[in-house]
Amino acid sequence: MSTSVALTLRLLLLTAVSAHPDGGPAKSCANLFPEHSSAQPQTTPSPYVITLNESSYSPSQVISVTLTSTTGRHPFVGYQLRASRLRCDQEEAVGAFLPSTDPYAPYRLQHWYPSHGQNNCVTHFDTEIKLQERILWRAPSTSVGDVVFRGSVVKSYDEFWMNIQSPVLTADVPAAETTFLSEISETMDAIKLDEDCEKTKGCFLYPAGCKSSAECSYVVTYSHLPSSSALRFEMMGKAEGYLSVAFSRDNKMGDDETITCVAKDNTTAIQRGYNEGLVNERHRITNISDVHVKRQDGIISCSFVRPLSMSLQHLDPASRTQHTRTFDLSDNYYIFLAWGDVFQGTDTPMKHVELPLVSLQAINFTQFRMIGVSSVPLMIQIHGMFAILAWMTLAGFSMVVARHFRSDLRKPFLGIPLWFQLHRYVMFVVAGLTTAAIVTIFVSVGRWSESATLHAVFGLVVAALSLIQIVGFYMRPAATSQRVIYNWVHRCTGVLSYVLAAVTVVLGVNSSMFMPALRQRLTLVVAVWIAVLACWEFFLELVRWYGWCVPPKDTNGTEAGDMKVEDPKSKKDSFPRKNFLLILYCVSNVILLLLTLAFLYAA
């Protein structure tokens, strides 16, 4: 290979894996999965192998582990591997990796819970191109039985292989007996609800009012085990790959314990995790028992027994210190229920798309109650309410008054025609509500959401146009020929912002983060809203152009009703029912507003 070609390949590989240039994160030791955005692991046979210099081991013996390609011609830039038992507790990383003895081939030592003070995981030191990596590992001081090394190898950012295994390293000394999670049963009876809820079970059911497993889309129940400080949990719901329940001290994600049931293809598993913010890290599934996981007709059912109190060790990435987090269900906790798919060929959950279901209040697990559930967090509901009130109701009213009712609302209010005061101050409120909606959602989410990118972009454009209209108001010229230009710019900007607001609302209610049933209901309401407003606009234009209410033009091109107050001696409008039309318009908008808010509140 020529120098130029080698350099080009090196640059491409370095660019491709820039996400973790100094090794995979320690939390990845749990599942050895390189979480490179939405990249999926390769399903073709791995071109890489893990070999050992010994076929058996004795306690504390040092073993040389070599990672290389099958032909020696496949370079790689990243990897992560650990040793685990061949049987039973395969989650625990056993033994300890030792520092490299070759200064020209360093690797980075890591530890994963419980590490017992040892470096039980290893990853790449940098993204230099590698053809082979030799790593030293010391066996545990007490035999843990037969051992196998498992790893993942990264060739480029979106090309990597998982579940690469070494030959079995046989134990010379038999392992001491250990207790661990019993075998997962793939059979499970239907969850009883109508007979047991509020009697022997606490029930978390969605949608509200469902009474049986056949009627409910998602279910979580809990019950007490006799003569035991433990709870039995049951879960059910439609999911591609997993169902996950979380126990949280508040109704926001972050600092939560999760129990996840995986059922995809031929894989069933149960996992324990911890949410640090919006990111879930996997922990060992200790003390969970009597596990049942079943998948049938796209529905995942799961049950397990959990002790009332469980603890885990969490590594604070900022201080690099471990903290013990205890989740004692003798206290009150909120319940979250999330679902989604897993990465192909693995039991690693992908980020859920739809918002999780959340209990409306913290749950007292000593009592059996029917638990209220929400599919839309309160702050998102407030965001939607602000935006809908601003653009479904107030903006349309303000524009209709300015275009169609200015000649009817010329009575002075604080020395200025009433129509102008209404148009001006209502649009101030619209701009304020739009700003409040944006601030609310950014404070709540705290980041740019990929699932609502278009909605967010259009929303920011609408907010900018609203502020431009307000600034333009203070630059409004006197009643001269320049007013004609101003009026056209003002009207076009107003219509554009109104149309974009409609697009923004449509994108918002169709966001993939909402439940399908809620999306359908909200989309129907928005479609009716747009149709009603279109009919109103068409009808009011007919009224206007048929001469019932067209004000005369001044010679300078402005309408006579622009800023003139009503003459008390003037005749009444030639279309006396027109004011009634404004009332009817307002009533129809309020009905649509209340209907939409009701759907949001009931979500």
What is the architecture of the domain spanning 3-171?
Sandwich (2.60)
Model confidence at 33: pLDDT above 50: yes
What is the band of 364 on the pLDDT scale with cuts at 50, 70, 90? Answer: very high
Lowest mean pLDDT segment, chosen from 99-108, 220-229, 593-602: 593-602
Model confidence at 12: pLDDT above 60: no
**Residue 135: both structure tokens together:** 């790593």
Which one has a higher pLDDT value, 416 or 115?
416
Model confidence at 464: pLDDT above 60: yes
Q: Which residues contact 74 (CB under 8 A, 6 or more apart)?
A: 47, 48, 131, 155
Q: Count of CB atoms within 10 A of residue 569's CB? A: 5
For all residues of the chain together, what is the average pLDDT?
83
β-pairing, 299-307 vs 230-238, is antiparallel
Q: Which residues contact 206 (CB under 8 A, 6 or more apart)?
A: 216, 217, 218, 219, 337, 357, 373, 375
Burial label for 369, CB within 10 Å (0-12, 13-18, 19+), is middle
Which one has a higher pLDDT value, 547 or 93?
93
Burial label for 305, CB within 10 Å (0-12, 13-18, 19+), is middle
Structure confidence at residue 557 (pLDDT): 44
Model confidence at 276: pLDDT above 70: yes
**pLDDT per residue as tens digits for the range 182-198:** 678 888 988 888 888 99
Report whether 141 contacts 60 (CB < 8 A).
yes
Average pLDDT over residues 487-493: 85
**Residue 188: both structure tokens together:** 């499970």
Separation between Cα atoms, residue 203 and residue 371, nearest integer Å? 6
User: In Å, how far are 409, 420, 483, 586 from 415, measured between CA atoms?
Assistant: 13, 11, 21, 25
Report whether 465 contacts 497 (CB < 8 A).
yes
Separation between Cα atoms, residue 455 and residue 498, nearest integer Å? 15
Dihedral Cα 483, 489, 494, 499, nearest 10 deg: 150
Separation between Cα atoms, residue 495 and residue 589, nearest integer Å? 18
| Owner of token pair 């491709």 | 16
Which one has a higher pLDDT value, 21 or 218?
218
Which one has a higher pLDDT value, 336 or 208?
336
Dihedral Cα 193, 198, 200, 206, nearest 10 deg: 40
Structure confidence at residue 174 (pLDDT): 85
Is the domain spanning 378-602 CATH 1.20.120? The answer is yes
What is the band of 37 on the pLDDT scale with cuts at 50, 70, 90? Answer: low
Q: Which residues contact 109 (CB under 8 A, 6 or more apart)?
A: 97, 99, 119, 121, 122
Which one has a higher pLDDT value, 199 or 278?
199
Query: Phi then psi for 580, rounded to 5 degrees?
Result: -65, -35
Return the axis-axis angle of helices 378-388 and 481-509, rounded to nearest 10°. 150
What is the band of 367 on the pLDDT scale with cuts at 50, 70, 90? Answer: very high
β-pairing, 279-283 vs 267-276, is antiparallel
Average pLDDT over residues 61-72: 90
Structure confidence at residue 179 (pLDDT): 62
**Residue 57: both structure tokens together:** 């081991």
Separation between Cα atoms, residue 153 and residue 79, nearest integer Å? 4
Structure confidence at residue 83 (pLDDT): 92
Separation between Cα atoms, residue 297 and residue 257, nearest integer Å? 29
**pLDDT per residue as tens digits for the range 135-167:** 999 999 989 899 999 999 998 888 899 889 999
**Alpha-carbon torsion 422, 424, 426, 427, what sign?**
positive
Fold of 202-374: Immunoglobulin-like (2.60.40)
Structure confidence at residue 177 (pLDDT): 65
Return the axis-axis angle of helices 453-473 and 481-509, rounded to nearest 10°. 160
Matching fold, domains 3-171 and 202-374? yes
Burial of 209-228, coded b for 16+ CB within 10 Å and e otherwise, reads ebeebeebbbbbbbbbeeee
Q: Any idea where the domains of the chain sit in the sequence?
A: 3-171, 202-374, 378-602
Q: Count of CB atoms within 10 A of residue 508's CB? A: 25
